Structure 1
Amino acid sequence: MAPKAEFIAASTLGIKSPETKLQGASLIPDLWLEGRTKIDGAEGLWRIHDGIYDLTDFVESHPGGSEWLKLTKGTDLTEAFEVHHLTELPEQILKKYFVKNAKTKRNSPFTFNENGFYRTLKKEIRPVLKNVPKQSMKNTNFICDAMVFLLFLFAILATLDWNYWLGNLAGIILGMLTIATHNYTHMKDNFRMYYFQFSMLQVRDWRITHVLSHHLYTNTIIDLEISMLKPIVQYLPVPKTLFQQVKSVLSMPFVYLTYFYGSIIRRIITARKCKYQNLKLTDLTGLSLPLIMYMFGGRSLWETLLMWSFILTVGGTFMAFIGLNGAHHHPDIFHDGDTPRNAEDYDWGLSQLDSVMEHKEVCGSHFLVLINFGDHCLHHLFPTLDHGVLEHLYPVFEDVLKRFDLNLRFVTKWDTLLGSYQQLTRIEPNPNPPDLKKYPGRPL
C-alpha cells in the first residue's frame, strides 16, 4: 500500500490528513501547515471551534509572541487555544475578533465540553496555580542555566585536550539540556528557549512539528513526529511486511545517531522551499557552541567541527533514545488505527491519557523529570506550565481522575523501551479502546 493511502486508511478518528504534498510535509513543517489551510475550513483566517476570527490586528500584541498567530493563520487552532490558555480572559478577548460561523464541520474529532474531563481539570487547577511556589520555576531555570555552563565548559575542554570522553560528557549534557529546555518553546517568547537551539534543532520548526502537531494530535495521522520518520520507521498499526518490521527495528540506532542532523537537513530544505523568508537571526544561536569551541579550544576549524559533530551525535542519540522510547509508543497506547474511546465525542484530555504512559523511576525528582520528559501527561495537558509547577498539580489531577473513573498509567523504563519496539512490529489495530486501569497509578 502506498504511504499516502496508508496514512488515510489508518485514521479511525475521522481526521483528514493534509494530503497536499504529504510526503514533503514529513520533511518540511511549513508544508504541513499549508496542507492544514486546505482542510481546516478556516477560510484564510483563524478558526476556533466553529467560529471564524480575524486576529490580524491582534498578532503583534499577542502576549505569547506574534509567531504563534503567524504560524496558525488559515488553520483550526481550537486545540492550541484551549490548551495554551488556562484562564478565562483569552475567551473574553476573542469575542472582539469574531467574524462569522464556520461553514464546515471541524476536521478534528476532539471536544472540549464544559463538563468534560479536560475543561473540568482546567477549572480545578486554576486556584492551585495561584499558590505554586515561585521557587519551583526558579529551580528549573537554575538547572537549565547550569547545564548550559557545563555544556560549554566540557565542549571547550574536549576540544582543547582532544578528549572524546569529555566530548561524550558534553554530548550527554547537550541531550539533557535539549530535553529540559524544550518546554521553554511551549511558552511565550523567552530567551531560554534558544538554549534548545544548541542542538541545531530550531524553535520555529519545533513549534510546528512538536507543539502544534505532536502535542495537539498525539499519535494520530497528523502527528508529524510519527510521519516524519516514515518510511524508515512506522509506528502506526498498519499492514507491514516482515521486511518492513525488521527494517523499522534495525533502523532505530540510525535514527538515534542522526537525530540532530535531520533537523539541520530539514531546516535547509525548508529555507530553500520558502525562499529563505522564514529565516531569522536567532537561527544562528546553535552555531555559538562551535564558535566558542573554536575560539577557546586551540584547534583548527576542521578539528573543532569534528569534535562538535561528535558532541551533536552523542546529544542527539541521548535525546532520541529518551524521547522515542519514553512515553508514547507501546502496544497498549492508542495509535491512529486502533479503536478509539469515542470517535464521535472524544474529550481531548482523555485522548492524552490514552496516548501517554509515565515512568515510575523519575516520579518526584525535579531533575530527573526535566531530563526524561517526566510528568509527561500533565506536560501534554498543560504544556505552557514550567515543569517545576507540574508536581504541585498531582493532588487535584488525581482527584479529577477519580471523579471520572480514570487512571494515569505508570510503568518502568524497561516497559516503555520494550513496548516501543513491539509497537514498531505491530500490524493489527487494537479492537478495544485503551484500558487505563491495566497499569497502576502514581507511586506513593
Structure 2
Amino acid sequence: MSKTLQAIRGMNDILPEQTPTWRYLESTFASLLDAYGYREIRLPILEFTELFARGIGEGTDVVDKEMYTFRDRNDESLTLRPEGTAGTVRAVLEHGLTGGGQVQKLWYTGPMFRYEKPQKGRYRQFHQIGVEVFNLPGPDIDAELIALTWRLWKALGLGDSVTLQLNSLGSSEARGVYRDALVAYLEKHFDALDEDSQRRLKTNPLRILDSKNAMTQALLADAPTLADYLDDDSRAHFEGLKARLDAMGITYEINPKLVRGLDYYGRTVFEWVTDKLGAQGTVCAGGRYDGLISQFGGKPTPGVGFAMGVERLVLLLETLERVPEALNAPAHAYLCAFGEEAERAAMALAESLRNEVPGLRLLVNSGSGSFKSQFKKADKSGAVYALILGDDELAQRVVGCKPLRDDREQQTIGWDALAAHLATCIEQA
C-alpha cells in the first residue's frame, strides 16, 4: 500500500476552525498599523543565501544550523527566509526607498522557515508579523514601536499577561571591547561551560549570556556586564528611551543578558515575554540595527524593528480564553429550497438579501434533499433561522422563517419584508 500523504513535520495546516482567530489577530494589527502611518510591504519567500549569511551573521544558530538552503537549476544557492528584516533591507536598497534620507515605516506578514525541533509554539514553518523603520536614529522611534506593541496587547486583552524587557547593546565598537572581556573571562572557565556555550565562545559569545544551562548561568554571575562597556552616545540613547516609556506609563524590566540571536542588532533590544506558555515565552522581539544597510553596500542608514510570532500569539489568546466569541458566530439563516423552481429562485433571493442586508451570514442549501434532510443540515450548520421556500411559498412570494435555537413559532414573511426582518434579527443577535 502507498504511504498516506502527510504534511512535513513542523509545517502545519491551519484549519477552518482556527483561521478566525488568525484573521482577528492580523486584522487588529493591520488596523493599528494604519492608525500609526505604517505601510505594508510584501516580500519573496526565497532569497539568495548570501543575504542571510551576510545579514544575520555567520556563526549564528540560524545561519549555521536552521536555514532551509538548496541549489536551484542554475546552481544558485537559495534559502527559504528564516526572518523578515534582511529581506526588507534588501528591498529598500534595491528600490531606493531610503535614498536621500527618506523615512520608511514598513510592515509585513507571512511564513518563515527554520529547521528546529518542533514543539508547541515553535515550528519549522511559522508566521511572523514584522515592522521595520528606516532613517530615524533617535530613541523616539524605538519608543513608538514599543508603544505600538503595548497598544496591541491592550486591544487583544493581553496587557496583563506580557512583560517588557529592555537592554542596550551599545555601539559595535563598545560591543567589541565587551566581547573581548567576556571571552577572556569565559576562557578561564571553559571546561565548566555547557557544550553549546563552548561552541558559541568561538562564534557568537554574546549568545552565551542567555544560555538556559544553570551551571553556565552561575558562571555568568561574576562575568563582566555589558552595561559597564556602553559608549556615551548609546547610554544617552537608552536613557532617552526609558524616559519616553516612563512618560507613557509603559512599565519595563532591564535585562542585562538580553542580546537577541541575530548579529545585526546594536543599541536598543527588547522583548515582550509571557509566563503563560511555558518555555516559549517570547511573543515579540526586536531592536535597532543601524549598521545593517551599510553592511549590504548601502549608505549608513538607521534602522529599527520588531517581529512577533503569530502562532504563539494565537496560542496565548486561546490559553487565556481571550478569543472573542463573535469570531465563531454561526450563520444568521439557512435557506432550504424544495423543488427545481424553488432552488433556482432561492439562489436569486439569496443574492438579493446579501445586497440589501450588510453583514448577513446566509447559507443556501446545495444538493437538493428532502424536507427532513435539509432541516437536519440547517440545524447542524448552527444557523439561528431556517428559511423555507417550496412551491407554495414561491407561488405566494413568501418564505417560512423557523427559529432553530428557541421555541418560537414559525412565521410567514413576504419577500419584500424579508430583508428588513433579517436586519432586525442581526441587530438583536
For this structure pair, what is the TM-score category when the shorter chain's length is used for normalisation?
A: under 0.3
Higher strand share: 2
Higher helix share: 1
Report the TM-score, using the length of structure 2 for normalisation.
0.22
Report the TM-score, using the length of structure 1 for normalisation.
0.22
Relative contact order, CA 8 A, sep 6+: which one is greater? 1
Return the index of the structure with the highest Cα Rg.
2
